[in-house]
Structure 1
Amino acid sequence: MLAFAAALLWQLGVAGIGFGGLARLAPGVLPAGFFAGLVSGATGAGSGLVLVPVFDFLRDMGQIRITFQQGVATAAFAQAFAMACAAFGWVGRLYGPNAPAAAMRIPGNDLISIVFATLAAALPTVLITQSNVQLTDRTLQTAFVIFALALGVTLLIFAWAFRRVEATRQRPERFDLYMFLLIGVAGGYVSAFFGFGIGEFLVVYLIFRKFPVYAAVAASVIVSAATVAAGTAVNWGFGRIVWDLALAAIPGGIAGGVLAHWAATAMGPLWVKTVAAAWIVVSSLAMIIRALA
């Protein structure tokens, strides 16, 4: 986070962004950043599922000029801050002085194993993919909407189908470690294009394997934060980040990320996942309708 903050201050001087432009964008983008940070930090789902549809809407309204690829890259950059804050919050919640019962979490060493096994495959995948594979704006937008809609429906079904499944597993087995590597490759590849994917894949797998829900969310948030941060470095180098949008979204994203674990525990895992899935479905359908109009 300190490295990102230092680089951000440097970029501000280079880009010469004024407060007038930020003030114009803040009423629409700042609340979206907060909601994105809250949803992503509470569920492990990527902030891009909230911010990209908002950017797309603002572009259609003529309020911003941005390509779809720039929107994804900017959302991923804001997401890196939000999910880093959420990751620290989850670690403190699960392993701090007021930690919940052992049945609601997994041993710290096993959480580290899950995170490192997934990132060992995810980080090189996202870096190689973003550096070498390019999609046209139209192709990327179509693929984004289709994948997001399918993901939203899947998460909604999954949340209610597994609402009464009790967590019975505390430690990953060797089979799980192989699966984490596979999730890292698949999630890293998808996240390279859309800015989301790896967190959703990991949290669904962990809950399916009957790990505690909050531990699953914590692991997915940590992995997502590291993955999008690595991808942001590539996007920054290619000049894909729209700085005024990013700066308008990041403060809200940080606030949402800080509050995410409290929101998740207050609402309960079922309703957190339901709200997130419903937003994904509705926003994806809205993007489809606007594209066809």
Structure 2
Amino acid sequence: MLPSSFSKQQKYLLILALLFIVLWSALFIQSENPFAKLQEFGAFFLLGIGGAITANSTGAGGGVVFVPSFDALGMAIEQVIATSFAIQCFGMTVGSISWLIFFNSHDKQKIERVNLLYQALACSVPFSILGIVCVQYMPIIPIASIDLIFSIFSLVFGLIVLYHCVYLGKRSTHRGVTLLTNKEKALIAITSILGGIITGWISVGVGEILAVILLLRGFSVMFSVAAGVIVTATTVVAGISYFIQAQLIHLDVLMFAAPGAIIGAFVARFIAQALGAKRLKLFLGSWILFVGLVGLLDFI
């Protein structure tokens, strides 16, 4: 029996996740040398869980975990980005559904909140997809190495979140359920194009940028995280066909990391709620700042 605290939608989501894992298990057993692959790539299952929990409980894309991990293993940077995209297609999609279930409750305030969430996403998603399409098909060449861009982005993002938590968190920044202003819509649209471009380069960016924008505009951390997760999911799903056509995805890594990402994404929202707003932002900022600092050390 599933816990009675689970809603009907959550139970359906869990059942779908379990069905996927059963299907994966059947494919794994029928694959060539399955236990040799388990020994070589099995650890990516745990990496998938950790990456999805981090991504879906904070709004930061799973690339903040996957990119440095894969890069440390010596994978080519194109394969690193492609595989990170593929894993996030599973984890961030499940996480998005979980967050939407949370906001689509029968509580009046949450229903109003989800309408506002859709409004924010309508200003973000099309422009994020435009940014990633420009990177993949124009293309827009990175102004520096992918590793350096990732490290600088992580450092800046971590500092902004910690600043918001430590200094701005002393006063209430939560706004009521009000429509976005035209200036806010324009700000979200412009930064989402930039976020889509950065995501095309390093597999993270747009979710973090949108989450920070919403936090700084006075929205709650849960609302901001949910928006960041959903825009990341739609962006990576829109961009994955490019990597499939180019055959850049490391399929053995994906085979083990994807089920872990689904599990991690399912529990991430509950972890976010348990941590609470301030601890969640502290965890997010500290983790991203750490990743950025470690990456920059390689360039010093």
TM-score above 0.5, yes or no: yes
Quote how far apart the aligned CAs of 1:25 are.
1.5
Per-residue CA deviation, residues 37-87 of structure 1 (Å, 9 max, x unaligned), is 01110111011001111112233xxxxxx2022112211211121111111
- After superposition, where does 1:91-110 map in structure 2 within 5 Å? 91-96=100-105, 102=109, 106-110=112-116
Q: Which SS does the other structure have where 1:70 is aligned? A: helix
- 5+ residue gaps, structure 2, are 1-12
Q: Which SS does the other structure have where 1:107 is aligned? A: helix
Distance (whole Å) between structure 2 residues aligned to residue 17 and residue 154 of structure 1: 47
Q: Which SS does the other structure have where 1:55 is aligned? A: helix
For 2:201, give the aligned amino acid.
F
CA contact (8 A) 1:17 1:244 kept: no
Quote how far apart the aligned CAs of 1:281 are.
2.4
CA contact (8 A) 1:22 1:247 kept: no
Q: Does structure 1 residue 128 correspond to structure 2 residue 128? A: no
Distance (whole Å) between structure 1 residues aligned to residue 250 and residue 299 of structure 2: 22
Q: Which residue of 1 aligns with 2:272?
A: 264
Q: Which residue of 1 aligns with 2:65?
A: 50
- After superposition, where does 1:116-265 map in structure 2 within 5 Å? 116-133=122-139, 139-163=145-169, 164-170=171-177, 171-265=179-273
Q: Which residue of 2 aligns with 1:63?
A: none
For 1:276, give the aligned amino acid.
L
After TM superposition, the structure 1 stretch with the greater mean CA deviation from structure 2, 174-183 or 259-268, is 174-183
Q: Which residue of 2 aligns with 1:39?
A: 54
Quote how far apart the aligned CAs of 1:132 are.
2.8
Q: Which residue of 2 aligns with 1:21?
A: 37
Alpha-carbon distance change, 80 to 160 in structure 1, aligned in 2, over 3 angstroms:
farther
- TM-score normalized by structure 1? 0.83
- Percentage identity across paired residues of the two chains: 26
CA contact (8 A) 1:213 1:269 kept: yes
Q: What is the aligned-residue RMSD (CA, Å)?
A: 2.8
Quote how far apart the aligned CAs of 1:106 are.
4.3
CA contact (8 A) 1:33 1:251 kept: yes
Q: Which SS does the other structure have where 1:166 is aligned? A: coil
For 1:167, give the aligned amino acid.
H
Q: Which SS does the other structure have where 1:122 is aligned? A: helix
Per-residue CA deviation, residues 145-176 of structure 1 (Å, 9 max, x unaligned), is 22222222222222322324331232212222
Distance (whole Å) between structure 2 residues aligned to residue 134 and residue 67 of structure 1: 19
- 5+ residue gaps, structure 1, are 60-65
Q: Which SS does the other structure have where 2:249 is aligned? A: coil
Distance (whole Å) between structure 2 residues aligned to residue 154 and residue 141 of structure 1: 20
Q: Which SS does the other structure have where 2:145 is aligned? A: helix
| Matching residue within 79, 82, 91 for 1:73 | 82
CA contact (8 A) 2:164 2:216 kept: no
For 1:236, give the aligned amino acid.
I
For 1:91, give the aligned amino acid.
L
Alpha-carbon distance change, 264 to 140 in structure 1, aligned in 2, over 3 angstroms:
same
Alpha-carbon distance change, 148 to 105 in structure 1, aligned in 2, over 3 angstroms:
farther
Distance (whole Å) between structure 1 residues aligned to residue 33 and residue 276 of structure 2: 41
Quote how far apart the aligned CAs of 1:256 are.
1.0
Distance (whole Å) between structure 1 residues aligned to residue 150 and residue 267 of structure 2: 28
For 1:235, give the aligned amino acid.
F
Quote how far apart the aligned CAs of 1:134 are.
6.5
Distance (whole Å) between structure 1 residues aligned to residue 221 and residue 111 of structure 2: 8
- TM-score normalized by structure 2? 0.82
